[in-house]
Amino acid sequence: MDHDALQERARTKGVNPLVYWVVRAFFQPFFHIYWRLSRVGREHVPQEGPVIFACNHRSFLDPFIIGTLARRPCYFVAKQELFKNPFLRWFISSLGAFPVARGTGDAGAMDAARAILDRGDPVVIFPEGTRVRPGPLGPTRRGVGRLALETGAPVVPIALIGTENVRRGLRIRPHKIRIRAGRAMRFPRVDEPSPQLALAVTARIWPAVQLQWEWLGGIAPVRRAAVLGAGSWGTGLAVALSRAGIDTQLGCRTAGQVEAIAAHGQNRPYLPNVTLPDALHVDRASALDLADRDLVILAVPAAELPAAVAAYGDRIPAGAGLVVCAKGIVDQTGQLPLDYVHDRLPANRIACLGGPAHSADALANGASIVVGGTEAEFTRLVSDAFARAGFDVTDTTDAVGVELAGVAKNAAVLAAATAAVAGPNAAGAAAGKVFAEIDAYARRRGGRPETFAGLAGAGDLVATVVAAHSRNRRAGEMLGQGVPVAEIGSALGQTAEGIAALPLLAHALQEARVPAPAVAGLAAVVEGREDAETWAASLTTPGRPLKRAAA
């Protein structure tokens, strides 16, 4: 039976009554016993007449769990790939499924849904369009709004939680499932609704689904954020989040910085020519009320992280998520920013940020960033917030790799710029050797090679090399010219994290027994124990035993 024939069957014949009621008689008690199914709000579910069930989508089980809310068959769309197997095609079509070709604007599927509603039966719609897991609910498409307007059928907002956890490989686990229905929503019937109207109706329906989802304990989207640290990157993140409609606070170090921003509407020393949104609340970090924040972003250099944690840590609520933007090493033990914060603050949800994202260019032209964390739901939550703020986001569980890739990028750029006094070959050798030595250290600590090869490593390295105002490159150029380290910070006006990280990094690599002559030599230049020209010349000087490149 082909695609069109299956849709026609749903329009005209409906379910196979014998198969449907036999399967339901077995499955519904199984759901209650094995998955301890909890159903809330059944009084809001009409037991006759047309109705649209609008629900979030986490698992292949979702339509069957939703079906237990009503004492009659429910019809639902399923991706057409599921209908290729003859037995599965017969089985799920007998239970009310009909195919949809996703991403094609399948008119036949919409016609089938309208016909089912017109004859007085329920239809299940997943506004997200696909399964979304883990983390908060995903973005919606306008199909549910269009269907509600074209049919005039009431829409019951539904959320379910737990179905994403019942399956691991081929094993079906006894994990609790809960489902909740809200009050039905009604909209006037419109014969040919415009896309804008359909989208507006969907935008009315989806918050009702989110309300059920959060009542069940589902993770909510980021609505309120605070950025502590008003440097270029901290200011850029705060601007992007505020532009996305997230209630955002920006915490400055001094009252003078707050007054300057208020006077000009810009953070001129760090992010000139970018007007801050009126909705962005700017104050001293010590004066911000963080009690209601969903997300707190620590946008300070690694060297300043201990002071920031000591100053603000006790005011960050335990329920808030934390994002650490520092790219460096905190102390001589090799402790990374994420571990440092996790050990000292009560927050259970924490992530780091990496990738090529220079603030001014990110606001003007966009950027690809990497969110690293060990908790998949929180990582997805942060990714969703930054995606709403206009970033292209990749998430990963390799937080160690993301942090050390940022360290490697800063060190490699500093190395290349410092060694450039001896020519481009020395600069390339410096960057390559330093980057490779830190990559070896990252692998020793569990980092993945693909993280260094991707956006967080190679991508960020290239962006920093070509950026006109790269702090680490400019710091390296001054270091190569013999400018004392003590004068570089004041000349830049900002922190070059590579400078501060090098001595700590060299010590950490030595303690881990990772061979790192290039990093050790650069650290000696930073500490004034060796001049830049001598170190740069040593990078390409023959005489050492030939080394075979790793396969």
Q: What is the CA radius of gyration of the chain?
A: 28
What amino acid is encoded at 148 in this protein?
A
Q: Which stretches within 265-398 are classed as H helix? A: 305-312, 337-344, 359-365, 376-388
Count Cα atoms within 13 angstroms, Cβ side, for 54. 34
Q: Which residue has the tokens 């922190």?
A: 495
H, E, C per residue of 127-167: CCCCCCCCCCCCCCCCHHHHHHHHHCCCEEEEEEECHHHCE
Residue 275, phi then psi, degrees to nearest 5: -80, 130
Closest CA to 537 of 425, 457, 456: 425
Query: Pairing mode, if any, of strands 321-324 and 167-168?
Result: unpaired
How many Cβ atoms from other residues are within 10 Å of residue 425's Cβ? 12
β-partners of residue 446 are: none
Q: Which of 327, 409, 433, 547 is catalytic?
A: 409
Cβ atoms of residues 399 and 374 within 8 Å: yes
What amino acid is encoded at 239 in this protein?
V
Closest CA to 80 of 104, 101, 103: 101
Cβ atoms of residues 88 and 97 within 8 Å: no
Alpha carbon distance, N-terminus to C-terminus of the chain: 52
Cβ atoms of residues 408 and 457 within 8 Å: yes
Residue 350, phi then psi, degrees to nearest 5: -150, 145
Q: Which stretches within 269-346 are classed as H helix? A: 305-312, 337-344
For residue 547, indicate whether it is catalytic: no
- 548 burial (CB, 10 Å; 0-12 / 13-18 / 19+) is exposed
What amino acid is encoded at 283 in this protein?
D
Catalytic residue set: 409
